[in-house]
Structure 1
Amino acid sequence: MSLASSLSDISHYEQACDQAIAMCDGNMRSTIKALIMANEYLEAELQELQTAGSNDCAPARMPRARGDAA
């Protein structure tokens, strides 16, 4: 990874942190709580998708275009 892309990633995360804190009116505890809740929601959704996939209920995948690498 190049230094420029590393700095870009850091800047992206800094901006995301600033935005999350601003959305919680600067309250760090509320920000952390909101992020934990969002993470738990995404984990539950992932679990549902994995369960559906193991039961062969997963949505059909789009066919790949010719020349796409696997």
Structure 2
Amino acid sequence: MTPKQDKAAPPPDGWEFAADEAIAAHGGDARAAVQALLAANASLEREVALWAPAVSYGFSRGWHKRQRGGTD
């Protein structure tokens, strides 16, 4: 699997600190930290999937339609 790269901006400087904090929060277990972050991301994706159809194209300036492969 190839991660999707955000071409607009480089990663913020705080990501390394955030990664260290996530690992520390899971007792030094990096695998558990990754699993927790993936679960949190999946939860947010489900939330977006539920709300995106209720948000108008104009309100979101078409952002969510483009992200889902819609036309402009």
Q: What does residue 27 of structure 1 align with?
A: 29
TM-score, structure 2 normalization: 0.57
Unaligned runs of 5+ in 2: 1-9, 60-72
Q: What does residue 42 of structure 1 align with?
A: 44
Bigger radius of gyration: 1
Higher helix share: 1
* Whole-angstrom CA distance in 2 between matches of 1:31 and 1:40: 14
Q: Percentage identity across aligned positions?
A: 35
Unaligned runs of 5+ in 1: 1-5, 59-70
* Whole-angstrom CA distance in 2 between matches of 1:49 and 1:16: 28
Q: Deviations over 1:5-56 (max 9, x none)?
A: x6x92x30011001100111100110110011011001001111102225xx
TM-score, structure 1 normalization: 0.59
Q: What letter corresponds to residue 36 of structure 2 in structure 1?
A: A
